[in-house]
Amino acid sequence: MTCAEFRQRWADAGWGASDDPTGSATHLDNCPSCAAWVARQRALDDALATALLIAAPAELSVRLARIPPAFARPATESASQRVLGFAFLVVVALGAIGVSGAALGFVLGLIWPAAADALQAITLILDSPLVGYYQNVASTLLEALATLVLAALVILRMPPAPSPSEGR
Amino acid sequence: MAEPSPQLIERARAGDPAAWQQLIEEQQNYVYSVAFSLMRRPEDAADLTQEAFLRLCQVIGSFRGETRFTTWLYRLVVNLGLDVLRRRGRSKEAFLDDETIDVPDVDPLIDPALIADRQETAARVRAALNELPTAYRLALTLYYFQELRYEEIANVLNLPLNTVKAHIRRGRLALASRLGTSEARKAP
């Protein structure tokens, strides 16, 4: 293994690479140049790791502390759980519709005979001779009232009689 | 960094206020750092961090443990940040795919004096980082945070694995170069 190959492998390995990232410990042990190179890489890594972590400003920490956990949601279900949940909802909805329909039919079954009797009674009442009589009385009273209203209007709109002084 | 325990995540998912606060406290620096890598401006990074945690508490129930929680969380942060930047008129590709930088083909050398003062080093590295394209910064940030593997970074950034490797390699070289620690010494 050449030094160039060793350094390329070392760089490619990234973190998790220990002193022997790619089975090249032998080269490292026998190459002072690469040993020094690795030491310099680690010094650079150390400097970068120190510099790249920036402390959040105190003002930001205060803002973050105000974020309530109330937004937190429980873990969402898996896909199979969602399917099961949906199927359950469908069954419940269908059941509710069925129960509602049965209840409605039952109520209508109770109400309908009474409602039919009431409609028949209304028809009989309307067909009775007394209804015609009362209709005639009502129309006569209406006509009389209209006549009275017209007469009152005529009287109110008549011009007043001339006074005696106006005749001279 | 500490990956939150499954118990903590589960309690936070169930709405336990103490667990939720603990999760925020443990993760806020990392989320802010990712946000900062993407947004560059502290106020934008703070807004993105807050938005990310608000979003997290809405979607934490959908976390199934198929990846590390932090990988999942950083992906959420990156996606939200990219949405913000997209609304400002730049496509995702403009951030993550098309940026290239010229880096010297040399080995990065670190002067021991450079790491003697960590505070000064951090300031210098951050200044150098700020000059890097977004994709490089993001990849490096994720790489060094909790030692995310290349595959995980590719998953977070939704980029090909080789692109991620190239970003990290070139980003390291560029940083070393800009820190003035490079030496034109190629491998024999």
Residue B53 at interface with chain A, using a CB cutoff of 8 Å: yes
**Mind telling me how many Å the CA of B93 is from chain A's nearest CA?**
23
Chain A residues with CB under 8 Å of B181 CB are 44
**Mind telling me how many Å the CA of A112 is from chain B's nearest CA?**
54
Express as a percent the part of chain B with pLDDT over 90: 22
CA–CA dist A137, A133 (Å, integer): 6
Q: Given a cut of 90, is residue A42 above it in pLDDT?
A: no
**Mind telling me how many Å the CA of A86 is from chain B's nearest CA?**
19
CA distances from B66 to A25, B6, B69, B155 (A): 33, 12, 8, 12
Average pLDDT over residues B41-48: 92
Average pLDDT over residues B31-45: 90
Q: Given a cut of 70, is residue A66 above it in pLDDT?
A: yes
Confidence grade of residue A4 (pLDDT, cut at 50, 70, 90): confident
Average pLDDT over residues A9-22: 61
With CB atoms and an 8 Å threshold, state whether A71 touches B109: no
Residue B9 at interface with chain A, using a CB cutoff of 8 Å: no
Confidence grade of residue B100 (pLDDT, cut at 50, 70, 90): low
Q: Given a cut of 60, is residue A70 above it in pLDDT?
A: no
What's the confidence (pLDDT) of residue A95? 85
Say how many CB pairs under 8 Å bridge A and B: 158
Average pLDDT over residues A28-34: 86
Residues 6+ apart with CB under 8 A from A22: A9, A10, A12, A13
Confidence grade of residue B184 (pLDDT, cut at 50, 70, 90): very low
Q: Is the pLDDT higher at B34 or at B98? A: B34
Residue B125 at interface with chain A, using a CB cutoff of 8 Å: yes
Confidence grade of residue B86 (pLDDT, cut at 50, 70, 90): confident
Residue A32 at interface with chain B, using a CB cutoff of 8 Å: no
Mutation target for A interface from B44, B137, B144: give the one with most A CBs within 10 A: B144
What's the confidence (pLDDT) of residue B188? 45
Token pair of B159 as six digits: 């980029």
With CB atoms and an 8 Å threshold, state whether A71 touches B176: no
Q: Is the pLDDT higher at A20 or at A161? A: A161
Residue A16 at interface with chain B, using a CB cutoff of 8 Å: yes
Q: Where are the domains of chain A?
A: 3-49, 79-157
What's the confidence (pLDDT) of residue B180? 63
Chain B residues with CB under 8 Å of A50 CB are 118, 121-122, 125
Confidence grade of residue A86 (pLDDT, cut at 50, 70, 90): confident
Confidence grade of residue A78 (pLDDT, cut at 50, 70, 90): low
What's the confidence (pLDDT) of residue A161? 63
Residue A124 at interface with chain B, using a CB cutoff of 8 Å: no
Backbone angles phi, psi at A126, to 5 degrees: -65, -30
Q: Is the pLDDT higher at B32 or at A15? A: B32
Cβ pair B106, B185 in contact under 8 A: yes
Q: Given a cut of 80, is residue B170 above it in pLDDT?
A: yes
Question: Which residue among B115, B122, B188 places its CB closest to the CB of A43?
Answer: B115
Q: What top-level class would CATH report for the domain B101-183?
A: mainly alpha
What's the confidence (pLDDT) of residue A146? 94
Question: Model-level pTM?
Answer: 0.60
CATH topology classification for B6-93: Rna Polymerase Sigma Factor; Chain: A (1.10.1740)
ipTM (interface predicted TM): 0.73
CA–CA dist B79, B56 (Å, integer): 12
Using one digit for the tens of pLDDT, what is the confidence trace for A104-155? 878 888 888 888 888 888 888 878 777 788 888 999 999 999 999 999 988 8
Nearest chain B residue to A77 by CA distance is B62
Express as a percent the part of chain B with pLDDT over 70: 77
What's the confidence (pLDDT) of residue B186? 43
Chain B residues with CB under 8 Å of A52 CB are 33, 37, 125, 129, 140-141, 144-145
**Mind telling me how many Å the CA of B164 is from chain A's nearest CA?**
11
What's the confidence (pLDDT) of residue A167? 44
DSSP state letters, A30-58: H-HHHHHHHHHHHHHHHHHHHHH--PPPH
With CB atoms and an 8 Å threshold, state whether A53 touches B188: no
CA–CA dist B131, B102 (Å, integer): 12
Using one digit for the tens of pLDDT, what is the confidence trace for B114-166? 555 666 777 777 888 888 888 888 888 888 876 678 888 888 888 898 888 88
With CB atoms and an 8 Å threshold, state whether A74 touches B14: yes
Q: Is the pLDDT higher at A160 or at A103? A: A103
Q: Given a cut of 50, is residue B185 above it in pLDDT?
A: no
Q: Given a cut of 60, is residue B183 above it in pLDDT?
A: no
Q: Where are the domains of chain B?
A: 6-93, 101-183
